[in-house]
Amino acid sequence: MSKEMKEYMQLLRNELIPAFGCTEPIALAFAAAKAVEVLGCFPDRINVQCSGNIIKNVKSVIIPNSGGKKGIEYAAILGALVAKPDKGLELLKGVSDADRIRAEELYEAGLCTVELLPEVENLHICAEASSKGINVAVTVEKDHTHVSRIERNGEIIYLAPCSENSFETLNNEVKLNFEDIYEFAAQSDLSEIEDILALQAEYNLSIAEEGLRKAYGANIGKLFREESGGFAGVEQKAKAYASAASDARMSGCAKPVVINAGSGNQGITVSLPVLVYAEHYGKNREELYRALLFSNLTGIYIKQGIGRLSAYCGVVSAAAAGMAGVAFLLNEPKKVVAETLVNALATLSGTICDGAKPSCALKIATSVDAAIMAYKQAKSNNSFHSGDGIVKGSVDATIEAVCTIGRKGMKETDTVILKTMLAK
C-alpha cells in the first residue's frame, strides 16, 4: 500500500467514529468527565468556558439519555456523573436513572456555571472542576475529544505536543484532491477499512429506521414517506432516511451514529443516500463500500478547508459528497461524478448553520434534494460552467472557493447568528 493510501486509511479511521448523540454536547460531557477523572472525586463546582459555536450547537438539541434535557449545564453535569472519558463520544451511554435524577438536583442547585470565551477557535471548551481547594481545568479544542491542556491549581500537568495540538495538524496535513480520492475509492484494499464502513451502514440505517418508526422532532422523514405514498421512488426514500435519522438524533434518540468530520448529521448525510441507492439498485458489498469510501473522504476533504464548526451548514457539503458517491456507485463517468459535486456545492452553499436542532432534518432533506438534481444535471450534460458564480474551472478549484467562503467570508455571519440566537 502506498504512503498516500495509508494516510487516507488512517484519516478515515480518525474521522469515521461512533458518537452517541450530537457531538457538541457530548464534547462538553467529555471535557467535564476528564476534569472529574483528574480531580479524583465529584466536584463541588463546575465551570464551563466555551466558544460561541459550542453554545450555538448545544443550545437547542436534546442530550441523549438525559430524560429530554438540553443545554451546556446538563451536558457537563451528566459527563461529570458518568466520569468515563475513555468512552469518548459514547460516554453518555452509561447514564443511569439515578444519574438523571441526580443531574436535575445538581442543575437546580447551580452546580455548573457557563461563560462565553471570545476570540478562541470555533471548537473550544475549558471545563473546570473544583473540590476542597483543588481546581482542575481541562481544555478540549479543535476536535471533540482532543485534550490540549490540563491544569491543577494553575499548574500545567499536561500539554499536548505541538504536533498533536490541533485538528488541522492531526488531519489536515493529509492532502486531498478529487482525482486521488476517486482512485483511492476505486482501487484501495477494502479489508483495511470495511469494519468501520460496515458499522457506519449498520448504525446510520438503524437510527434512520428508528426516526421513521417513532415521533422525533419535526418528523420530516415521515412527511416525505407520506408524500411519496410509502417510498414510491428511491429519491424520496433517500431524503426520508437522511432526514429521519437527523430528526431522531437531534431529539435525543438513544442510538449511535458513525460521524464524518466531527458531525453526526454530516455522517448521516454522506452515507444514507449511498446506502439507499445501493439497496434499490442491488449493488454488492464491494460496490457499496467503495462508494462510501468516496463519499466519506470527499466530505472530509471539503470540511478540511471550512473547519469543524462555522456558519456554513455542513450538511450542504455532505449532501454534495453523498450524491457524488451515488454517481460513483452507479458507475457514472468520472466527469459526471465531479460535476454532481460542483453543481450541488454551487447551489446551496449559502445555507447557514444556526446550531443543532430539529430544523437540521429539513436542511438535510433540502440539500439531498438539490444534490439529486445536481446529479441529474450532470447526467444530462446541463452542468454549471466555470464563471457561473462561484464555479471554477475544476472541481478542486470550486471546492477551494466554497471553503474560502465558508471559512473566511462567513466569519462575521457566524457572530451575527450567535448574537441573534442569544437575543431575548
What is the pLDDT at residue 167? 43
Mean pLDDT of 153-181: 75
What is the pLDDT at residue 421? 82
What is the pLDDT at residue 231? 62
pLDDT reading at 307 higher than 90: no
Pairing of the two strands 18-19 and 45-50: unpaired
228 pLDDT band, cuts 50/70/90, is low
pLDDT in tens, 254-292: 899 999 998 999 999 999 999 999 999 999 999 999 999
pLDDT reading at 164 higher than 70: no
What is the pLDDT at residue 361? 93
Mean pLDDT of the chain: 92
pLDDT reading at 166 higher than 50: no
Mean pLDDT of 129-158: 94
Cell digits of residue 349:
452553499
pLDDT in tens, 22-32: 889 999 999 99
Mean pLDDT of 225-232: 70
Q: Which residue has the cell 453554545?
A: 55
What is the pLDDT at residue 165? 42
173 pLDDT band, cuts 50/70/90, is confident
State the Cα–Cα distance between residues 229 and 32, nearest whole angstrom. Answer: 46
pLDDT in tens, 383-399: 999 999 999 999 999 99
Pairing of the two strands 257-258 and 155-159: unpaired
Helix %, strand %, coil % of the chain (to 5) = 60, 10, 30
Q: Which residue has the cell 466555470?
A: 386
Shortest CA distance to 216 belongs to which of 269, 253, 241, 242? Answer: 253
Q: What is the pTM of this model?
A: 0.91
Pick the CATH number of 174-422 from 1.10.3470, 3.40.190, 1.10.4100, 1.20.120: 1.10.4100
**Candidate from 47-51, 181-185, 346-350, 355-359 with smallest mean pLDDT:** 355-359
DSSP 145: T
- Domain chopping of the chain, boundaries: 22-168, 174-422
Please report, as a single letter, which amino acid is at residue 100: R
Backbone φ and ψ for 422, nearest 5 degrees, come out as: -90, -10
Rg of the chain on CA atoms, in Å:
21
pLDDT in tens, 88-103: 999 998 899 999 999 9
State the Cα–Cα distance between residues 228 and 378, nearest whole angstrom. Answer: 25
Q: What is the residue-wise DSSP string for 337-386?
A: HHHHHHHHHHHHTT-B---SSTHHHHHHHHHHHHHHHHHHHHHTT----T
Which residues does 55 contact at the CB level (< 8 Å), separation at least 6?
A: 72, 114, 116, 418, 422
What is the pLDDT at residue 181? 96
Neighbour-count burial for 175-214, b at 16+ CB within 10 Å, e otherwise: ebebeebbebbeebeeebbeebbebbbebbbbbbbbbbee
pLDDT in tens, 121-132: 889 999 999 999
CB < 8 Å & 24+ apart, contacts of 181-187? 181/8, 181/294, 181/297, 181/298, 181/301, 182/294, 182/328, 182/334, 182/337, 184/4, 184/5, 184/8, 184/293, 184/297, 185/290, 185/291, 185/293, 185/294, 185/297, 185/328, 186/290
State the Cα–Cα distance between residues 155 and 197, nearest whole angstrom. Answer: 42
pLDDT reading at 114 higher than 80: yes
DSSP 20: S
The topology (CATH level 3) of 22-168 is 60s Ribosomal Protein L30; Chain: A; (3.30.1330)
